[in-house]
Amino acid sequence: MLIDANNLALTLSGQSILADVNLHMKKGDVYGLLGPNGAGKSTTIALLLGLYQADRGELQLFNQQSPDLAAIRRRIGVMPEFAGFYEWMNARDYLIWYAGFYGGMQTTPDTLLQRVGLSTVGNKPIKQFSRGMTQRLALERALVHGPELLILDEPTNGLDPRGRREIHDLLIDLAEQEHVGILLCTHLLDDVERLCSRIGIIDGGRSVFEDSLEDLLQDTGKPRYRLHMTSVPEGHPLPPEIRLINKEGSWWNFEIDLPTAMDIGRVWINLLEHGWSFDEVGVKKNTLEDHYLSLTGVSAATLREKVA
């Protein structure tokens, strides 16, 4: 296992930041770490990197209980959310300098720069780089020593669609060909769906879900229907078996508890009797976003308030 974290808890300045976090990752996994803002994702990453010490719980990195931090860090590459550099240096010099902490580069600076599409700007001062170029350089900084585990916080921030695709391809290649474990912290669910084999969701400092992405998406849960509304009654009272999930334009998404599939007709009649009218019905396929929203505190209740 690359990461084996169980029941991690952390208090900072008297405030409980993490209460019960679990994270399990093996070689070659691409693990998506999701959660609302302030859930504790970045704190979890900081804890994994040894920047904090957990108050409770167990943490093993590379199967070591009490690792030598320096030795562990040699095997990890980190791309923080806000990529900062020494702007008077150029990209080539910066990578050579940074690789010095790891005993030097495994390949030439030009090869590394080429991998992220920066080979033509290696001699340019970093202060002249665009946001996207800085992001690429930050990714290459994380890879400069050939790590076994890559921890990325919003790696495609500031990249155009082509750039994002290139980074995706690189990460997939790293995971599949070189069996690098990748821990990806991002808000972009598209990225997670494309890249990740496992996901973990944190909410309020606790792990609320951890499993393979495939298993999550196959869990259809309760049936969901989309109705194209033509009129909505004032106060829109709903029958008890119907729960409003969210609203997308004039399409309203409902979750419905049905004893049998045949009861769906009775549900529509019930809605019509309550003053709802609609001209189209569809089945709502559960996306990652739907699961995420249902698992985290951004719940139907919150959305119901928003649509009312």
Partner 1 sequence: MKTTKLLLVTILLLSSGLATAASIQLQVQPESANPSHPTMGDWMHFNSVISNTGSKPIEGLVAWISLVEVTPGKEQPMDLEDWSAHKAVTGTTLKPGEALKTQWPMRLIQSGDYRIVISATDRNNSTVFTSPTLQFHVSQKPVVESTRILPVAIGIPLLIAGLLGVRKYRGHHKTS
Partner 2 sequence: MNPVTLIAQKERSALLQNQRGLVWLLAYAGILSAFALLLISNRELSLLDNAQVVYMMAGTVTAAGALIAVIMGADAYAGERERGTLVPLLTAPVSTGELLMGKALGLVSAWGIMYLLAFPYLWSVGAGGQNLGQAIFYLGLFGTPVVLGFGYLAMALSARSGSVMSSLLTSLIVLLFSASPLLVGPGLRNSTIGKTLDAVNPFSGALNTFDAVIIDSDPFTGQLARLFLVLIWLGLMFAFARISARRPVFR
Name the binder of 292 from partner 2, partner 1, none, CB < 5-8 A by kind.
Answer: none
- Can you tell me which residue has the tokens 């109705």? 227
Radius of gyration of the chain (CA): 23
As given in the structure block, the two tokens for residue 52 are 């904090």
Residue 128 CB, nearest approach to partner 2 (Å) = 14
What is the residue whose two structure tokens read 């209980």? 65
Tokens for 243, please give them. 């729960």
Quick one: what does residue 246 bind among partner 1, partner 2, none, with the CB cut-off 5 to 8 Å set by partner type?
none
* Residues between 67 and 86 that touch partner 2 (CB under 8 A): 69-71, 73-74, 76, 78, 80, 82-86
- Of the candidate residues 128, 130, 250, 277, the single one contacting partner 1 (CB under 8 A): 128
- DSSP symbol at 128: G
- By the rule CB under 8 A, 120 interacts with partner 1: no
Length of the chain as a residue count: 308
C-beta of 98 vs 129, nearer to partner 1: 129
Q: Which is nearer to partner 1, 88 or 101 (CB)?
A: 88
- The tokens for 122 are 């290696």
Scanning 59-67, 123-131, 243-251, 279-287 for contacts with partner 1 by CB under 8 A, the matching segment is 123-131
String marking each residue 263-282 x if it binds partner 2 according to CB under 8 A: --------------------
DSSP reduced 3-state for 305: helix
Binding piece for partner 1, criterion CB under 8 A, among 122-130, 161-169, 223-231, 270-278: 122-130
Q: Restricting to residues 88-127, name those near partner 2 by CB under 8 A.
A: 88-89, 97-98, 100-102
Q: Which helix (H) or strand (E) holds 18?
A: strand 15-25
Strands of 83-197, DSSP E: 149-153, 181-185
Q: In this structure, which amino acid lies at residue 49?
A: L
List 277's β-bridge partners, or say none.
231
The Cα 240–Cα 263 span in angstroms is 14
Of residues 154 and 290, the one with the C-beta less far from partner 2: 154
227, 281 Cβ separation under 8 angstroms:
yes
Q: Residue from 28, 36, 50, 125 that binds partner 1 (CB under 8 A)? A: 125
Helix, strand or coil for residue 262?
helix
Residue ranges that bind partner 2, judged by CB under 8 A: 42, 46, 49, 51, 69-71, 73-74, 76, 78, 80, 82-86, 88-89, 97-98, 100-102, 141
Residue ranges that bind partner 1, judged by CB under 8 A: 123-125, 128
